Structure formats: structure tokens, C-alpha cells
Structure 1
Amino acid sequence: MPLLPGCEPMRHEGSDEIGVLISHGFTGTPQSVRPWGRYLAERGLTVSVPLLPGHGTRWEDMAVTGWQDWYAAVEHELLDLRKRCRQVFVAGLSMGGAMALRLAARHGDAVSGVAVVNPAISFPRRQGYALPVMRYLVRSAPGITSDIRKEGGTEIGYDRVSLHAAYSLRNLLRLTHRELPQVTQPLLLMHSRVDHVVPPSDSAAILGAVSSTDVTETVLENSYHVATLDNDAEQIFADSHAFITRLAARKAARDGS
């Protein structure tokens, strides 16, 4: 199945000092975070923005994938970046933020820091209760893309959501929530004050559960869920670059290099 135009993964070979892995969200594509990746790449960093399995083609393709496939894709990219870069940072939008946190929880010192935007960590309770049965009765539900405040802003993604995939997302978020205390790396968490997809309580839950001591919370005042394509995008890009370079410099000084 051919990819939707603009949904291609992104790779940029920059410095062998710093690598950054950025993950897009559920039903989205690299298009939603590509400007973020380009910003970092233009400043010399090595950047990987993978296309998650089942995404970027048609919503039916998600029905035969699950969180294990999506997570395996980002884990593979992390391990590949570790071979090429001295320090690797993980980042993500929405579900991509959850997977970045899980990478940090499971890979410890292999991850130097985490930067997430409107990370998801919970699933709506009512829909969650119904999904185990409903997914066998109804194939899909309306899509959740393009929650963008900026006039003309558009996210490329599916207009339908596979309920089998949604059930798998629910399981991923539950699992990741339990693993949050294992996140010890520096954390930059950026979330929109108004988000019609992920509630602000998700960010509060993450901040309350991680074990990180170096934590920065930024409230995005002028964006909705897909903030990486919205009015606060430049702030996200600049803040994450400053966060990454600060930590990289600190480690280099500590290592005497």
C-alpha cells in the first residue's frame, strides 16, 4: 500500500555526539513532527523520525498492528542511534510521548533525556471499558487528527480509527503508566493548556509519577493537541534544542571531553 504524500520517515545524519529520536502519535505520521526534526537537524544534530507500522497508508492497515509493533519500531531506532551517537535523546508527540517515556524507563543510561509534547498516558474510561467487546462489533470510529488552533493547520492522518488498534493503545498506555517511576532521566514536558485529544491531567500524572529530578514543565498557551504544527511550535523547537544541548554539554564536561 503506497504511503500518503508527506508521510515519509525522516533521517538526518549530523553530529556523532547527539542523536534525537522523535516519534509521532497514534494514527498520525512523521509529518506532524517533521518540522521539529528539521529544526534540530539544521542545528547539526542527528535525527530519526520513523513511520510507525500501520500508519501513513489507510486506517485498515492499523487493524493488523498493535503497540508491540509500534514500540518495536522506535526501540529499533533508539538502538541504531546508540551505535552512531555518544548521547541519544528521545522525544514524541501524544502516543509518541508515551513511547519515549517507555524507552527511557526500559533503557536507562542509554537515554540521556526525554522531551515530550502533550504526552498521552490514559485512555477515556467509558470507551476503555467498552473496547474489549466493541472492537469485535464495530471496526472503526471517527478519527482524531488535526486538533490545531492555527488557522490553516492540517495534520496528515487517518479519518477513521481502528478499534482493534485503539484497544492496543489502551494497553500500551496502561503499561507505560506503571513504568513511569523507572524514568529517571531529565524530562522536558510541554503541554497545551487547551487540548481536545489528551487531557492536561495526563501531564500532571506523568510529572507526579516519574523519578526524574531535572524536570521542566512548559504550558503552551496558544496551541491545541498537535502543538508541533501549531502557534507554539517555534517555542517547542527552541526549548527542546536548549534542553538537549544543555544536557549534552553537562555530560561532556563531566566526562572531561
Structure 2
Amino acid sequence: MPNFLKSNGFNTFIPEIKGYLYGSAADSYENWIGQVHNAIDELKGQYRTINLAGISMGATLALAVTTQRTDISSIALLSPVLRYDGWSVPWYRFLLDIAYNLGVRSWEYSEREPFGIKNPDLRRRVRDKFKAHELSEVGAPLITARHLHEAKGLMSYVSKNLDSITSRLLIMQSVEDDTCSIWSAEEILSRTKSDLRRTIWLGNSYHIITIDNEREIVLNEVLRFFTRAAGGNIGLDNYYTDMSPKAIRTRA
């Protein structure tokens, strides 16, 4: 996504959030939000518009930041998560929260198939990397108890503050998402106060839509959304090379 946007005229910046990224000791979600604020404050004087984009918990973090700012032009939310309720989430997921609250916090959650990917070839590649305990296209093979706990806190915070968001929203969500159901997207769509809320439902991907079967649709829709936010336009002729099933809904 960053390289694609950059190749189409946008300046992009990926903040390295300490305590959020794999390999760093987990920190509070409030500090995650604060670090993104700091990154935006350092850059905003150089640009006329500021847009945020994130996938999965990154989308949720973008929402959290936007609840506390009024200078974000648009947000692209890709598979945003307000609760883990997808079809591949194990039934015992709630027990992990209970264990954490009881002080059992040394465990790590292992990612499991399908790893948020419907494409079988890409899923096989991710599986091989995870077996070798390597980072993959979908992230890390393990998530610490503290990271999951803070993610839950972040989701709770965002859920309580959705009505303070007024930035333009693009939500892209697979109807087959294995990590979170369409409930999260519907909740964001119904409760935010944005003048423009555009939702695109995808029909041939799972959770990690930026690399799955409909990645070209995702990339091009984000580009078009941000281009229009900046006052530009992209023609629709020959727009898609992948005509997978999708549904588009716009609320204004």
C-alpha cells in the first residue's frame, strides 16, 4: 500500500510504534495513540491534507487517533476490528482474557490457519514462514498476552468514542473475514458522524485484504478515495483488473 500510493504521487509515512510492533515489549494502547499523534504533529505543517490508512488493528488505531483530532481529512479502514468474532477465532478465545485478568500472562497466542488469507498459494507461503518462526506478509507468528490485552483495550476505547469521528471514511471489509465479522464495519458505519462514509464489501478475500485475491481493488479504491480528498480525480474506465464480487455503499 505505501509503495503503491507513493508511486501515484502521495507522500507516505509509516510510524514505528514502540510497544505495538512485534519484537518490542508491549506498551499501553494510550502510548500507541500518543506516538501516532507525535508523528502527525511533526509532519502536518508540510501538507495540505493528512490521511490515515490501516489494516486490522492498525485501522482501529487510526480510528482511535481520529477520535482525538479534527485535522484528519480521510481515513481508509481496511478490515477494522472492534471485536474478534470471525469464523476462525477459536471458541476458547474468551478464556485467554480470563487468564490474563487472573494474572496468568506469560502465554503467547499462535496465529492459525487460514492466517487471514483466502489465496491458497499465499497461505502456503505464510505457513512455511510461520513454521520457521519468521515474519510473514501477515505479520508475526505469535502475539503476546499483553499485546492482545492492550488491543482489547483499544477496541473498547474506540467503540465508546465512535460518535466523535467526523473525518471522511472508506471502509473495506470482506464478508468472509475470518478474524472479525461484518459487525465491526457496520458499527463504525452507523455510529460515526462523518459526512461521507463509503463502504466496500469484498467477496473473495479473508481478513488481510491488502494482499489477498482482491488486493488490486483495495489498492485502487484507497488511491481514488485519497485522491478525491486532495481535490483530484481518477477516471473509472479500465479501473479494475480484478472484477471479483463486491458491493459498494455510500452514505452522506
Class of the TM-score when normalised by the shorter of the 2 chains: 0.7 to 0.9
Asked if 1:104 corresponds to 2:66, the answer is yes
Q: Percent identity?
A: 22
Q: Which amino acid aligns with 1:152?
A: D
1:134 CA displacement: 4.9
Q: What residue is the counterpart of 2:206 in the other structure? A: 224
Q: What residue is the counterpart of 1:139 in the other structure? A: 107
1:236 CA displacement: 1.0
Secondary structure of the 1:229 match is: coil
Partners of 2:6 and 2:105 in 1: CA distance: 45
Partners of 1:137 and 1:245 in 2: CA distance: 44
Partners of 1:135 and 1:200 in 2: CA distance: 32
Q: What residue is the counterpart of 1:53 in the other structure? A: 18
Partners of 1:137 and 1:223 in 2: CA distance: 33
What stretches of structure 2 of length at least 5 have no aligned partner?
86-92, 127-136, 233-252
Aligned residues: 211
Partners of 1:57 and 1:119 in 2: CA distance: 19
Q: Which is helix-richer, 1 or 2?
A: 1
Alignment of 1:1-257 (within 5 A): 36-54=1-19, 58=23, 61-62=24-25, 64-108=26-70, 110-123=71-84, 126-127=94-95, 129-134=97-102, 136-143=104-111, 146-153=115-122, 154=126, 155-249=137-231
Q: What residue is the counterpart of 2:235 in the other structure? A: none
1:74 CA displacement: 2.1
Of stretches 70-79 and 39-48 in structure 1, the one that deviates more from structure 2 is 70-79
TM-score normalised over the length of structure 1: 0.75
1:95 CA displacement: 0.8
C-alpha distance 118-88 of structure 1, shift in aligned 2 (>3 A): same
RMSD: 2.2
Secondary structure of the 1:177 match is: helix
TM-score normalised over the length of structure 2: 0.76
Give a deviation string over 1:112-150, Cα, whole Å, max 9, x none.
011110001125683475154255254222226831112
Partners of 2:45 and 2:99 in 1: CA distance: 40
Q: Which amino acid aligns with 1:183?
A: I
Q: What residue is the counterpart of 2:133 in the other structure? A: none
Partners of 2:96 and 2:182 in 1: CA distance: 18
1:77 CA displacement: 2.1
